[in-house]
Amino acid sequence: MDDWLWMSASDLGRGIGAGEIDPVALAEAYLAAAEGHGYRDRIYTVLTRDRALAEAEAAAHRARHGVRRGLLDGVPISWKDLFDSAGTATEAGSRLLEGRVPGADAEVLARATRAGLVCLGKTHMSELAFAGLGLNPAYRGTAEGATPPNVHDPACVPGGSSSGAAASVAFGLAAAGIGSDTGGSVRVPSAWNDLVGLKTTSGRLSLEGVVPLAESFDTVGPLCRSVEDCAELLAVMEGGKAADLTGATLEGTRFLVLEAYTNDAAPAQAKGFASAIERLEAAGARIETGSVASIAPAMSLSPILFAAEAYGTWSEAIEAAPEKMFDRVCERFRGGAQFSAPDFVAAWRRLRDLRRDWLRETAEYDAVLLPTTANAPPDIARLMADPDYYVAENLLCLRNTRVGNLMGLCGLSLPTGVPAAGLMMLAAPMAEERLLRLGAAAEAALA
């Protein structure tokens, strides 16, 4: 049973279908591992044992009678604590939402439940999802209380804001985790914990019942052990069919490496990226290095677009009790107050033009490549002691990933084999199936 904890979600599903894995025993194995784990309370906000076992029993019944609802029927996964779950506190990592218990599941969680997946519980996250490091000292009162450990060094942050989602998978406490990505919140923790993370296109998956940060950019995405798992979970949450990954190849593909976003990467991240590019080329990909002119003006709009919408969403709750927040996150939200409504409207009009420019400039490439993050996971103690270091590292960890959010793209982060170093692929909006095929081929090359 210990081996089950490290299998991909898809392999677990195949084991259930073959009669080799009992869904109830599988759920019990994950629950026991989580309940007995030394970092349990830094990863999970709550384990939903009764719900998990009831769902596992139903999955076992379907498996015995040959009426499984899909490949992942009976597979246990975790959910970031901004997805509403009926009867279970959903507080988005913030004391501002303390005691908030929704009466219904978020739409994506409801779809997953109807597909037979087992909900293990809710995972910790950055406060209101507005930070990329995964550091959250305010929610549980200490720096480590709601800050999950990094799988490579528990003294370092895991990346955020889907921090607990990543840790739950990386530490073998869930077969996959569901997170959200507004500026990099699926891809950063995936990269820093050697997972595969899919950022979906804005509007592809429902945000109904998802605690918002900036709904114009918020997206839902899985953190997994394989590209296949990402494809299957996207299909489950969308109520569609998974991308066909058979025969995926890099032969004849053409990629653009963004030179400006690779030159300043930290040593491990640079090494992982360079090694990955060599292996993609060896597998038949054509790699070109260059730039895209629309990126720089789009990035300059980030403070207006993200902070203004986030503060507009949360200003009333924040100003009613700012003392409940981590001061650096509160300050980041308040930064949105300096922009006027005309500033915001003008920025969005400009961004829509820049998105069209991006698509024209990159049309000849299958995807754009860059390191998922330019920096390595920072030390928790130093982040707490040095506010300037916190701000610099938080902005840096989200710099590369934010390109995908600003340009409205889908994105995939893959482990490179170098610890905490991810390779990111960015593709056109709503091109997830194509991206996942590219990702499957790249995954095989990188293995």
User: How many percent of the chain have pLDDT more than 90?
Assistant: 99
Q: Tens digit of pLDDT for each residue in 174-223?
A: 999 999 999 999 999 999 999 999 999 999 999 999 999 999 999 999 99
Question: One fold for both 2-238 and 254-300+330-446?
Answer: yes
The predicted model gives 81-103 an average pLDDT of 98
- Reported as a single tens digit per residue, the pLDDT across 144-170 is 999 999 999 999 999 999 999 999 999
pLDDT at 434 over 80: yes
pLDDT value at residue 1? 75
Please give the average per-residue pLDDT across 287-303, as a whole number: 97
Q: Which entry of 8, 161, 163, 413 is annotated as an active-site residue?
A: 161
Q: For residues 177 and 166, is the Cβ–Cβ distance under 8 A?
A: yes
pLDDT computed for residue 141 by the predictor: 87
Task: Please check whether residue 334 is in contact with residue 224, taking contact to mean a CB–CB distance below 8 angstroms.
Answer: no
The C-alpha angle 72, 78, 83, rounded to 5 degrees, equals 110
Please, what is the average pLDDT of the chain? Answer: 98
pLDDT at 2 over 90: no
Q: Is 324 a catalytic residue?
A: no
Q: What is the pLDDT of residue 168?
A: 98
Give pLDDT tens digits for 333-348: 999 999 999 999 999 9
Could you read off the pLDDT of 129-143 as tens digits, one per residue?
Answer: 999 999 999 999 888
**From CA 188, how far away is CA 16, in angstroms rounded?**
31
Give residue for tokens 């899985």: 222
- Tens digit of each residue's pLDDT (9 = 90 or more) over 8-55: 999 999 999 999 999 999 999 999 999 999 999 999 999 999 999 999
199 is catalytic: no
Number of Cβ within a 10 Å radius of residue 66: 7
Q: What is the DSSP letter of 418?
A: S
- For domain 254-300+330-446, give the CATH number: 3.90.1300.10
- Third-level CATH fold of 2-238: Amidase signature (AS) enzymes (3.90.1300)
Domain boundaries defined on the chain: 2-238, 254-300+330-446
Q: Are 85 and 105 in contact (CB under 8 A)?
A: yes
- Whether the upstream peptide bond of residue 226 has omega within 30° of 0, thus cis, is no
pTM beyond 0.95: yes
Strand, coil or helix: what is 227? helix
Catalytic choice (185, 190, 294, 413): 185
185 has catalytic annotation: yes
Q: Which of 80, 168, 202, 413 is catalytic?
A: 80
pLDDT of 426 over the 90 cut:
yes
